[in-house]
Copies of this chain bind each other. A is one copy, B any other.
């Protein structure tokens, strides 16, 4: 047990214990973050209310929080205009755009394979493969 890692069995070539994996997931694993980045990437500078309108279902709380996180990490810029009524515009930085590219790739993968996945899932339903919980459906003796 105390011996180092068992190279022969499990392979530790992957940074499963690396903190930055977690960092990525915290970023792109949040659907609002992805949707926000995608929306900004597609639409150039957008203001708060435009973002809210463009991302169906997002709450003020989540939009604000997401924007702050993204700004904090340097993925977007926040530009307030000292006029009335108040106006604030958000825009992707270069860093943000680079993430956008990676995200787009993921979305591309999803677009390509999601029907296949759906098919597999449907098939699994029939065969009972991969059933997570022991189904409420009693076998009806």
Contacts and interface: CB of A to CB of B under 8 A. Distances in A.
Interface of A: 5-7, 9-17, 20-25, 27-31, 34-35, 38-39, 41-44, 46, 50-51, 53-56, 65, 68-69, 71-75, 78, 95, 98-99, 102, 105-107, 109-111, 113-114, 116-117, 119-121, 124, 129-132
Contacts of A15: 38, 107
Nearest to A65: B132
A72 B10 contact: no
A129 B72 contact: yes
Given A42-B14, A95-B117, A105 B102 contact: yes
Contacts of A12: 42, 54
B14 A41 contact: yes
A99 B17 CA distance: 20
